[in-house]
DNA sequence: CGTCATTAGTTGCATTGTCAACAATCTTCG
DNA sequence: CGAAGATTGTTGACAATGCAACTAATGACG
């Protein structure tokens, strides 16, 4: 018994590796963040993106693109985070369609605590990765990210 | 205005890159597989794992570990795939607790078509990756996968 | 200006997955 | 043997997300 050649395609296997690596890390670090910092990993990702943005705010669609969710998903995510007091919505002064999600003081505090925890956990996972390994990985991932631009409907 | 140092942690950024790269690829290739081959990407992943396994079958928990889902999730996933006729459940002759998900002829056919489509799409995404790039990426991802073993409750 | 196409965000509905409790079965060891 | 503990898979209740339809606002262009 032997397998059809196409299912052993090199790229299928590589992509499978990528999925497995990411999912395992997520499954390890996600619950850890929830347990040790009290917030889901997606929330952290949102807070982080906001903190790194001009004025600590991003429009809903910009956020959607950055964290790879639909705008519908982001609406509800921000609903929850706003209810928790970590972000707040602000209208855009020049375009009344857009609304910004903006980091609150509470959100900034939570983010810093969570980032500390997260960084510590990551150091454990990446324990045997040297600087050059990380550089190489970063570059490859960047090329991959650029190879899959978001869609143009 | 400057950011708290911890949110610019090297590893946090690298992990963010991994997430972004994976999610973008998934968002590009997932819908493509659904549109061109008529099945969700997770289904493909299941069929692929089964096809690569001894006897084209895997226990529910083995499957859960391979595709990074809970056993509860796998139960329902296999429910749907069995209803579609792509897999079938078989009792294990030596342990009556375990049940195997087993590839059907239909499933094998679907898998081969889907794999062809998938491989073609992947070739597009990985267009400017050479053999040595892929080797490097594979090795790094493997180390990462091993660095995050599944949990021991 | 006025109309038409485009864009941003929200919402109802359906789907998918998790979590925790559970039943059935197996294993260990007194 | 037989009781206690582990392990496998399923299920009910629930949370999160996608999709598609919708509203509101903007922009393009005759």
d(CA A110, CA A116): 10
pLDDT at A136: 96
Give the start-end residues of each E strand in A2-148: 57-59, 87-91, 99-103
Q: Residue B3: its chain A contacts at CB < 8 A?
A: 51-52
Torsion angle of C-alpha atoms A25, B22, A21, A36, degrees rounded to 10:
0
Q: Residue A17: its chain B contacts at CB < 8 A?
A: 137-138, 141-142, 145
A80 CA, D22 C1': Å apart = 23
Q: How far is B91 from chain A (nearest CA, A)?
A: 22
pLDDT at B63: 97
What is the dihedral sign for C-alpha A22, A23, A25, A29? positive
Average pLDDT over residues A6-23: 93
Torsion angle of C-alpha atoms B73, B76, B82, B87, degrees rounded to 10:
10
Average pLDDT over residues A115-124: 95
Give the residues across from B88 on adjacent strands.
B102
pLDDT at B89: 97
**Mean pLDDT, chain B, whole residue set:** 93
Asked if the model's pLDDT at residue A86 lies above 70, the reply is yes
Specify the range with the lowest mean pLDDT, choosing from A4-13, A34-43, A60-69, B54-63. A4-13
Average pLDDT over residues A68-95: 97
pLDDT at B153: 39
Nearest nucleotide, C1' to the C-alpha of B70?
A: C18
CB contact under 8 A, A11 and B123: yes
β-pairing verdict for B99-103 and B87-91: antiparallel
Closest residue by C-alpha to C1' distance, nucleotide D7: B97
Identify the CA nearest to B73 among candidates B61, B82, B84, B87: B61
pLDDT at A81: 98
Confidence category of residue B1, pLDDT binned at 50, 70, 90: low
pLDDT at B113: 95
Please, what's the largest Cα pairwise distance for chain B? 67
Distance between first and last Cα of chain A:
44
CB contact under 8 A, B140 and A137: yes
Confidence category of residue A8, pLDDT binned at 50, 70, 90: confident
Asked if the model's pLDDT at residue A107 lies above 60, the reply is yes
Asked if the model's pLDDT at residue B103 lies above 90, the reply is yes
Alpha-carbon distances of A73 from A42, A76, A77, A79, B26, rounded to whole Å: 11, 5, 6, 10, 17
Identify the CA nearest to A46 among candidates A100, A121, A117: A100
B61 CA, D8 C1': Å apart = 8
Contact partners, residue A119, CB within 8 Å, separation at least 6: B6, B9, B11, B12
Average pLDDT over residues A56-73: 96
Q: pLDDT tens digits, residue range B108-121?
A: 999 999 999 999 99
Closest residue by C-alpha to C1' distance, nucleotide C24: B97
Question: Do A82 and A73 contact (CB within 8 A), yes or no?
Answer: no
d(CA B126, CA B136): 14
d(CA A91, CA A108): 20
B51 CA, D20 C1': Å apart = 36
Question: Do A99 and A24 contact (CB within 8 A), yes or no?
Answer: no
Question: Do A44 and A30 contact (CB within 8 A), yes or no?
Answer: no
pLDDT at B114: 96
d(CA A100, CA B69): 34
Give the residues across from B99 on adjacent strands.
B91
Identify the CA nearest to B85 among candidates B43, B31, B142: B43
Residue B100 backbone phi and psi in degrees, to 5 = -95, 145
Q: How far is B113 from chain A (nearest CA, A)?
A: 9
Is the C-beta of residue A60 closer than 7 Å to nucleic acid chain C?
Answer: yes
pLDDT at A153: 38
From A4, A116, A127, residue closest to B112, measured CB to CB = A4
Alpha-carbon distances of B29 from A86, B97, B121, rounded to whole Å: 33, 36, 7
Pairs of CB atoms within 8 A across A/B: 189
Asked if the model's pLDDT at residue B43 lies above 70, the reply is yes
């Amino acid at each position: 018994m032997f397998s059809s050649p196409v299912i052993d395609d090199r790229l299928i296997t590589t992509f499978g590796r990528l999925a497995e690596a990411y999912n395992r890390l997520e499954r390890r670090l996600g619950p850890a963040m929830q347990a040790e910092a009290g917030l889901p990993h997606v929330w952290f990702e949102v807070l982080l993106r906001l903190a790194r943005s001009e004025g600590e705010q991003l429009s809903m669609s910009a956020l959607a693109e950055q964290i790879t969710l639909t705008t519908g998903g982001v609406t509800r995510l921000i609903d929850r985070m706003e209810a928790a007091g970590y972000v707040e919505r602000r209208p855009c002064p020049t375009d009344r369609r857009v609304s910004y999600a903006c980091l609150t003081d509470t959100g900034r505090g939570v983010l810093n605590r969570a980032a500390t925890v997260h960084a510590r956990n990551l150091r454990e996972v990446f324990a045997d990765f040297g600087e050059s390994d990380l550089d190489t990985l970063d570059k490859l991932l960047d090329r991959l990210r650029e190879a899959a631009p978001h869609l143009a409907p």
